[in-house]
Amino acid sequence: MRIVKSTVPVLLSLVTCAVASLSCRSGGASAPTPVSSSSASRPPSKAEIAEPRAPEGSLHKVMDLQVKAADLWHLEGGAILLESGRNSFAVIQGDAVQVLPGMGRGLPPEDGTDDRGAIQMITGRWPDGVWLVWRDYDTWSAPDNLWYERLFRYRRDHWERIHETHHDQSTNTLYRGLWEQPDGCLVGLLSDDRNENNAWQAETEVLDCPGRPAPTLSFKAAKQTEYGIAAALGFASGHVVVLEQHTKMKEGEPKPPRLALSRPGPLNRTEVELPLPPEIAHDRRRFRLRDCRLLGGSPSDLYLVGNYDLETATIPLLLRFDGTSFTPLSSSPVSYIGGVDLAEDGSLVLLGSPPKDNPKARSIWILPRGGTWRERPMPVDRQVGEPYRPWGIAARSSDDVWVVGYHENNERNDGRLALFHSHPPAPAGHGGGAAVP
């Protein structure tokens, strides 16, 4: 999810801090405290150097990250990108973390645009089909500032800008979904950002398809003006799936969300309503969908993950869709789902707010396909005495999970980030570890 600073020395410090006792993953611990002259004359006591005992099955720290924020992006084929803004990238392949100090070339402001925005998303395949979305705001086209987005494609050693969403007094569109159709061509679902009831305004567009025939698009938008887009996912086959919610519902009159499926061929659209959770259906509660994702390899094998927001409470949304109907998944072990990834083996990996009966719980939760929830606790920060808080996740399988964790020390007004992995670190000289380019 987010990573480093803007200079090569900082990037090198990120990697060189991974020594024999650390593994190559995200999470954060503070840099060593300099030894004072008074303490240098005596060896440290066991209490001063002892690490807290890690919980059973705990994630393993790979390295400290000398940055304020870091994100993990799971790409097709198993590669994972670790980034911290425009100037700091690393690629994780297998157990190795390789810093890419020049990968930020071409991003704002180098492309001639202003420097107010930030990376919104990275998607695709490493290294020949990677796209990046940069979100910024327009302060000049309308009385109110407008969000808009730029799309970049990685070209060997730099980012090339290939598209920008509309933003003027009449239109303000953002990318609601991006997918390859076919390999090497990127298609996007775009809709207006001025109103939440934007499903009827959505449209697909070929954004990047150099030297190839443009793919045929099959998307059909909603007819009703009271629905908004909560999530979207497209496929190389041309299928497009959109999770839509009713934006005008009133208390006492809940309206079920729906999954809208557009298929290739003559324009067509199939809508399937989601089952409402008992807490909403019984009490007739109004709600909004928050932080929703559609995950899966085909329109007949999908996961719907997110949250129902009832203003005074939240209810996790966890459903599987087989192309015609929904199956509820096991109850979520977190009270609010803030992040999710789908591994190549079909495992769902969650992070989010811990349950109210254990507010200090800091864990990653894994649901193997056909199995039950498994916990991966976050290690305890030695200085704070509490577990790291998970911030970003990327999973290749139920046993190959990477996590960025953080700690904020309010008394000292500083923070710490680190990279964690479900595997223990490889001993020095035995492979793995971080490679300096």
| pLDDT at residue 414, rounded to an integer | 62
- Give whole-number Cα distances, 271 to 226, 293, 330, in Å: 15, 18, 25
The residues pairing with 365 across neighbouring beta strands, listed in sequence order, are 350, 375
Query: Could you list the residue range(s) of the whole structural domain that residue 270 is in?
Result: 8-29+53-435
Q: Side chain identity at 407, as an amino acid letter?
A: H
CATH code, domain carrying 357:
2.130.10.10
- Tell me how many domains the chain contains: 1
Please report whether residue 219 resides in a domain. Answer: yes
Closest by CA to 399, choosing from 360, 349, 329, is: 349
Q: Torsion angle, CA of 21/24/25/31, rounded to 10 degrees?
A: 50
For tokens 């490493």, what's the residue?
Answer: 126
Closest by CA to 434, choosing from 70, 92, 157, is: 92
Please report whether residue 38 resides in a domain. Answer: no
- Print burial letters for 346-355: b (CB count within 10 Å at least 16), e (below 16): bbbbbbbebe
Q: Tokens at residue 158, please? A: 């730099």
Closest by CA to 173, choosing from 145, 197, 202, is: 202
Please report whether residue 128 resides in a domain. Answer: yes
Please report whether residue 243 resides in a domain. Answer: yes
How deeply is 366 buried, as exposed, middle or buried, from its count of CB atoms within 10 A (0-12, 13-18, 19+)? buried
Please report whether residue 43 resides in a domain. Answer: no
Task: Look at residue 6 and give its three-state secondary structure.
Answer: coil
Closest by CA to 105, choosing from 55, 173, 159, is: 159
Q: Which helix (H) or strand (E) holds 8?
A: helix 8-16
Q: Tokens at residue 432, please? A: 């793995």
Please report whether residue 396 resides in a domain. Answer: yes
Alpha helices (H) in 18-83, listed in sequence order: 37-40, 46-49
Please report whether residue 107 resides in a domain. Answer: yes
Please report whether residue 265 resides in a domain. Answer: yes
Rounded mean pLDDT for each run of 10 residues along the chain, 437 residues in total:
32 34 29 29 40 73 92 96 94 96 93 86 95 90 85 95 91 95 95 93 96 92 97 96 96 96 92 96 94 97 97 94 96 94 97 82 92 93 85 97 86 76 72 38
